[in-house]
Chains A and B, each alone.
Chain A
Amino acid sequence: MTNTMTDARLIALIEAWGADANAFPETERAAAKSLLAEAPDRFADELQAARDMDMLLGGLPAVTPSPALTAALMDTAPKARPQRRSWLAAIPHWPTVGAFASLAIGLAIGLGTAQSGTTAATEDAVDTLVYAALGFDVINYSQETAQ
C-alpha cells in the first residue's frame, strides 16, 4: 500500500478519514496524495461529500466542563498531606555523612582485624628473635625478671 494506490482504496480512505489527505494513515498518505494530484476530477464527488461532512463535524462546539464540574473533580482528588519532617532529614549532606561513616567503619574493622590477626604465638616468636639478636636468653631473662 505504500507505493500503489487504487481508486477504490482512495475512495475508501476519503470515506473514512475525510477530505483532508493529511488525515489518512501515514503509510498510504503519499500514494493517496499522488493519485489525487494525478486525477483530481475523478474523486471530486467523494471529496465534496467528505468536505461537507468535515464542515458539519468541525462546526460542532467544543464541549467544555463547567466550573462546577471542575470544582467537583478537584474535590474528589486526593489531597496532598502535609509532609512530616523526619529526624533523619535534620542530618545534612547524606553523601558526606555516609562517606565518613564508611571510612570510620572501615578503619574500625581494619584495625580490629589487624590486631586480632597478630596472634600471641606470633608475638612470642618475634620477641624471641629480637631478644636472641640482642644476646638475651629469653628463658633466663624471664626467670630473672620474675625473681
Chain B
Amino acid sequence: MSALVNRYSPGVLALATRILADRAEAEDVTQETFIRAWKALPTWEPRAKFSTWLHRVVLNLCYDRLRKRRESTMAELPEQVDMALRPDDALDQSERVGAVEGAIAALPERQAAALTLCALQDHSQADAAEIMEISVEALESLLARARRTLRTVLMERSEA
C-alpha cells in the first residue's frame, strides 16, 4: 500500500491542487481518492490502467467540488492570486509562480485538467485523453485553448 501511495499521491495531489487552487481542499480530495482506491482494490478488474482510473477519480471529485462551489452562493471564493506578469527582472520567481498558478486555476476546469495532465505531468496523450474520457483531438483543442487563454491573461496582466 505504501508503494501505491508513494507512486501516485504526488500526481493526484498535483492535479487536484492545480484544478482547485486550494491546497487544503486538494488534500481532502487526495484522501477521498485513495479511500475509493482502497475500497476498489479487492474487486479490481483491470479494464483500465490503475493510474488512469485513479486520475479519473480525482478529476471527477475535483469537478464535483467546483460544481458545489459554484452552486453555493455563500461559498467563499479562493483567494485570488495576483496574476501580474511583470518584466522578468522585476518579477521574482515566487511571484511568477504565483501568477502562472493563479492563471491556471482561473482556466475552465477541463482546460486546467488538460494542461496539468499534458504539460505539467508526464501523461502520454493517449493516457490524458483516456483519463478525461475524450479523444486526443478534443484534448488537443482543450490544450490549445488553455495555452492561448493563459498567454492572453498573463500578457494583459503584465501590461496593466
Contacts and interface: CB of A to CB of B under 8 A. Distances in A.
Contacts of B31: 69, 72-73, 76
**Category for how many chain B residues contact A:** 35 or more
Contacts, number: 88
Contacts of B101: 60
A40 interface: no
Interface in A51-109: 53-54, 56-57, 59-66, 69-70, 72-74, 76-78
Contacts of A70: 5-6, 9
Contacts of A15: 144, 147-148
A25 B5 contact: no
A66 B30 CA distance: 12
Interface string B143-160: 110011011001000000
A25 B14 CA distance: 24
Contacts of A65: 9-10, 13, 27, 30
Nearest to B27: A69
B2 interface: yes
Interface of B: 1-2, 4-6, 9-10, 13-14, 17-18, 26-27, 30-31, 34-35, 38, 41, 93, 96-97, 100-101, 115, 118-120, 125, 136, 140-141, 143-144, 147-148, 150-151, 154
Given A16-B147, A23-B118, 18 more contacts: A15-B147, A15-B148, A16-B144, A50-B147, A53-B150, A54-B119, A57-B119, A59-B97, A63-B17, A65-B10, A69-B9, A69-B13, A69-B27, A70-B5, A70-B9, A73-B9, A76-B34, A77-B5
